[in-house]
Amino acid sequence: MTADETIGVQALYDAARTALAAPSIFNTQPWRWQVGPDVLRLYADRQRQLPTADPQGRLLTVSCGAALHHARTALAAAGHQADVRELPDPANPDLLAEVRVAEPHEPTLADLQGCAAITRRHTDRRPFTPQPVADATCRALIVAGELEHAHVHLVGDGQVAVLALAAVRAGALQLSDSDYRAELADWTHRPPWSGEGVSSDTTVRAVPRRVPIRDYAPFGGQTMHPGRDTDAGARYLLVFTDDDTPAAWLHAGQALSAVLLTATSQGLGTAPISDVTEVPGTRDELRSLLPGLGEPQVCVRVGYAQPSPPAPSTRRPYEESINPAP
């Protein structure tokens, strides 16, 4: 192996390790990376799919798309242009992407800021402060997401009530489903050493806020103190796509990552909201918020966070997610 080839393999391996910090539904981390001499392959890990909350694997694919964008961002910041082929093998739908190192790339400020944001970004489920998020900041988030071949809609003040009602309905419908409750209990009561799932100490109890969030601790447990804020200054963005296909889901995940990393770079707290798109009825309601036809994929809450950031979600050992090519 030449020196250039060695550098390329190391860059791909480093990008895969960085991508493990990506957000995922229920912190399932439903990806597998395979590092070869000249290619990094991203696979969906179907054993980590949620059969009740995500029966089609849509949010699994969105989660993998976020990891793909994290890897691309890491490569760009390290001075490498990434050549990405999405869904390259129709006979193997679990192979979501192939990434190769192309020509050298001069990192931009946005590349460096995005990569630095990967380690600082944490889902913050506490209510955000009353400090408003400026329209110009929201426009920057929209632009970042739309560069990833998806659409981002800023939920208007007059539309927040629709989103809030959809969240209430989604929560009630899901918690009334015994299969969902079992799935939720499974992924919120993982042993600490597993490095997966949503631990109760990263969640907050239900408090009044503009848009309710998923109750991760209906069975009790130690939660974060929610503080006195109510999300008064929070803004909500809806990532949507033209189609509802695996390719579209992958783009939505990359757009989600771009929005989250840009928001973190701007000093904002963030939290993806997926439950409103997990229930078919409430997902239909979100379509009424869009400026045209489209498929809602995931919502994002952004705002100015309370002091003392929450603990990061745990991650599995990288050896479980990254393997050498056979």
**128 part of a folded domain:** no
Q: Which of 121, 154, 183 is the last residue of a domain?
A: 121
Q: Are both 180 and 80 inside the same structural domain?
A: no
Q: Which of 97, 121, 145 is the last residue of a domain?
A: 121
For 91-119, what is the mean pLDDT? Answer: 96
Q: Are both 229 and 162 inside the same structural domain?
A: yes
Instruction: State pLDDT tens for residues 38-95.
Output: 999 999 999 999 999 999 999 999 999 999 999 999 999 999 999 999 999 999 999 9
Count up the domains in the chain and report the number: 2
Return the DSSP state at 264.
H
Q: Are both 81 and 34 inside the same structural domain?
A: yes
Distance CA 317, CA 315 (A): 7
**320 part of a folded domain:** no
Report if pTM > 0.95. Answer: yes
pLDDT above 70: residue 139 = yes
**326 part of a folded domain:** no
Q: Are both 115 and 141 inside the same structural domain?
A: no
Q: Are both 198 and 283 inside the same structural domain?
A: yes
Kindly provide the residue ranges of all beta strands, DSSP E only, lying in the chain, ordered along the sequence.
Answer: 31-35, 40-44, 80-86, 95-104, 151-154, 235-241, 269-273, 295-303, 322-324
**106 part of a folded domain:** yes
Q: Which of 2-6, 160-164, 184-188, 284-288 is least confident?
A: 2-6
Q: Are both 218 and 109 inside the same structural domain?
A: no
Q: Are both 107 and 13 inside the same structural domain?
A: yes
Give the model's pLDDT for residue 201: 83
Distance CA 262, CA 69 (A): 12
CATH number, domain with residue 52: 3.40.109.10
Q: Which domain holds residue 208?
A: 135-303
Distance CA 247, CA 141 (A): 22
Q: Are both 145 and 33 inside the same structural domain?
A: no
Q: Are both 177 and 297 inside the same structural domain?
A: yes
pLDDT above 50: residue 3 = no
Give the closest residue to 16 by CA, choosing from 278, 313, 316, 295: 316
For 133-152, what is the mean pLDDT? Answer: 98
**257 part of a folded domain:** yes
Instruction: State pLDDT tens for residues 238-268.
Output: 999 999 999 999 999 999 999 999 999 999 9
Give the model's pLDDT for residue 7: 66
Task: Work out the pLDDT band at 5, boundaries 50, 70, 90.
Answer: low
Q: Are both 171 and 27 inside the same structural domain?
A: no
Q: How far is CA 33 from the centre of its chain?
A: 17
**104 part of a folded domain:** yes
**322 part of a folded domain:** no
Return the DSSP state at 94.
T
**315 part of a folded domain:** no
Task: Work out the pLDDT band at 309, boundaries 50, 70, 90.
Answer: confident
Q: Are both 82 and 152 inside the same structural domain?
A: no
Q: Which of 62, 88, 121 is the last residue of a domain?
A: 121
Q: Are both 195 and 91 inside the same structural domain?
A: no
Instruction: State pLDDT tens for residues 187-244.
Output: 999 998 999 999 888 899 888 999 999 999 898 778 888 889 999 999 999 999 999 9
Give the model's pLDDT for residue 2: 53
Give the model's pLDDT for residue 60: 98
